[in-house]
Amino acid sequence: MESEKNGTRRLRDRSGFTLIEIMVVIVILGLLAALVVPKLIGRTEEAKKTQSRIQIKNIEQALGLFKLDNGFFPATDQGIEALIKIPDAGRIPRNYRKDGYMDRLPKDPWGNPYVYVSPGAHGDYDISSYGADSAPGGEGEDGDINSWDAQ
């Protein structure tokens, strides 16, 4: 009788979680996931588009400095590569900065180079990222991000 009470007491004194406690925690985590996950889905594409707009603005600032120093924008055939090294073809800039205008040329968030045209159809130059599909046009995540679009 005495050993039976000690065995029961030892079982009750054990620390740990009961099945019901574990189930309650799983239900709470499931509810939290159901509320949070839908808000996070779709945010990655929005973040990529925002990053692309910021990179285009940075390229535009470097182009502005290039023009300020040299009096013109790089031509399409020189490309935005003219911002990191002096062009060796076309109109050669006379007051090119020793270290260039950018450390490196960024790729768009989908890993593609930006498309640069000068003179552009929408101004002195056009800069575009073709989005996830890497092709002109498209909607949603495949939509283009352009320097001339109002942000």
Tens digits of residue pLDDT in 16-67:
778 888 888 998 998 888 877 777 776 788 888 899 999 999 999 999 999 9
Where would I find the beta strands (DSSP E) of 1-151? 115-117, 126-129, 145-146
Number of neighbours of residue 113 by Cβ within 10 angstroms: 14
Average confidence (pLDDT) over 2-7: 55
Determine the residue type at 92: I
What is the per-residue pLDDT across 92-139, written as a single tens digit (0 to 9) for each? 999 999 999 999 999 999 999 999 999 999 999 999 999 888 888 888
Using a 10 angstrom Cβ sphere, with 0-12 exposed, 13-18 middle and 19 or more buried, the burial of residue 46 is exposed
Cis geometry, peptide bond prior to residue 136 (ω within 30 degrees of 0): no
